[in-house]
Amino acid sequence: MKKKRIVVKIGSSSLTNTKGEIDHTKLQDHIGALATLKHEGHDVLLVSSGAVAAGFRKLGYPSRPVTLKGRQAAAAVGQSLLIQYYSESFHEHQITAAQILLTRTDFSKKERFKNAYATFMELLQRNVLPIINENDTVSVTELTFGDNDMLSALVSGLVHADHLIILTDINGFYNDNPFTNPNATRIHYLNEITDDMLTFATDGGSKVGTGGMQSKLLAARTALQAGVQVFIGNGKGPTKLIDILNGLGDGTYIGKDDSAILANQKQWLSITEVSGKLFIDKGAEKAIILNGKSLLPAGVYKIEGEFSKGDVVEVYGESKLLGRGEVLYSSNELLQALGKRTTEIDATATEVIHRDKWVKA
């Protein structure tokens, strides 16, 4: 098998016991499988939950805390314990591990996005296994990923991964809840994630985690948009990750073999927060969608929101969202230029969105 770049996400339910504490037998099983994958010559990145689970007992909580301050305090204690355990265990396999804590801002701000990419590339070139988690101790609701499923999807896009493997406590995606419906059928392969599929999944997580199957499907859709193939499922033993790559995993495979991986600029555009909306006419829609042209002021007839030059906005046609791009006008400048030809505008930029700074929906 040729060398691949693989992001593995391990959720809290796959790391903990019935009391919500870290289960070291489970953890060692994952570490053994990651080490096997690494020794096969692949680039491996780990997105690991479990910081809160590792720390809440140390703070005297009888169970996982439910308040934000309690979870953040438990994460502050548990993150160091978890990374220490990972580092010592990987060292026994002659693998050097590195800790990286991320917030949503690291993906929404272009310079931080570029810096994160450069850091990951340096670590991988030096044969280090990055262990990634959200910086729970300082994150606020508006800047969180929601759960580590989405974080793993964003990381897989950022590093141009070939595969995202989401390990969970259920062996894939079913057409109904298998815990309540014995006739639920597992779906072994999906080309895409549709809105209808999301209705099959519940949005509740486990008692020790935040991400249910719906969050995993949303994360899978984000990864697919970046050209990353996804597996959702479980397994045991040192070869479980190798088996998954060979198509023998116990779960659901999502994606196409010929998916194109987006360049860094397109990656950032596809995942950053949007600051406004543009509405364009039929001629502009044809120009950018069918002919690959840039968006000009003459094609824009309405805007929503306030934005600055360099922000990312969504672009809508007459009936649907077409895509998003980095805008070269502020909202105030664009209001003055609506519907005008470029020769009529006193502006430094001719395009509203250049075709190189545009991604389709």
Does the annotation list 214 as a binding residue?
Answer: yes
Q: State yes or no: 215 annotated in a binding site.
A: yes
CA 60 vs CA 6, 51, 213: distances in Å:
37, 15, 31
* 304 backbone dihedrals φ, ψ, rounded to 5°: -130, 140
195 is in an annotated binding site: no
Between CA 295 and CA 283 the distance in angstroms is 10
Tokens describing residue 341: 């030809």
> Would the annotation count 360 as a binding residue?
no
Single pTM value for the model: 0.83
CATH architecture, range 274-360: Roll (2.30)
Q: Please give the pLDDT value at position 143.
A: 40
**Tens digit of each residue's pLDDT, the chain (361 residues):** 789 999 999 988 899 888 888 999 999 999 999 999 999 999 999 999 888 899 999 999 988 888 888 988 898 899 999 999 999 999 999 999 999 988 888 887 888 889 999 999 999 999 999 999 887 555 544 445 557 899 999 999 999 999 999 999 889 998 877 878 888 889 999 998 888 887 766 544 444 344 478 889 999 998 988 889 999 999 999 999 999 999 999 999 999 776 666 667 777 887 777 899 999 999 999 999 999 999 999 899 999 999 999 999 999 998 899 999 999 999 999 998 887 776 666 655 689 999 999 988 7
Q: Does the annotation place 41 within a ligand binding site?
A: no
For residue 254, list its beta bridge partners: 190, 230
Is 293 within any annotated ligand binding site? no
Structure tokens at 60: 């005297």
- Residue 270 assigned to a binding site: no
- Does the annotation list 199 as a binding residue? no
pLDDT for position 344: 66
Would the annotation count 246 as a binding residue?
Answer: no
Closest by Cα among 40, 32, 46, 31 to 4: 40
Q: Which among 191, 241, 298, 331 is positioned nearest to 43, based on CA atoms? A: 241
Domain range list for the chain? 5-262, 274-360
The annotation status of 216 as a binding-site residue, yes or no, is: yes
Query: Do 274-360 and 5-262 have the same topology in CATH?
Result: no
Dist. CA 137–CA 129, nearest whole Å: 23
- The CATH superfamily label for domain 5-262 reads Acetylglutamate kinase-like (3.40.1160.10)
> Annotated binding residue at 1?
no
**Could you please report the per-residue DSSP string of 229-283?**
EEEEEE--STTHHHHHHTT--EEEEES-TTPPPPPHHHHHHHHSPP-EEEEE-HH
**Angle, CA 49 vertex, CA 47 and CA 51 arms, to 5°:** 125
169 annotated as a binding-site residue: yes
In the beta sheet, which residues pair with residue 128?
Answer: none
- The verdict on whether residue 9 carries a ligand-binding annotation is yes
How far apart CA 308 and CA 198 sit, in angstroms, is 34
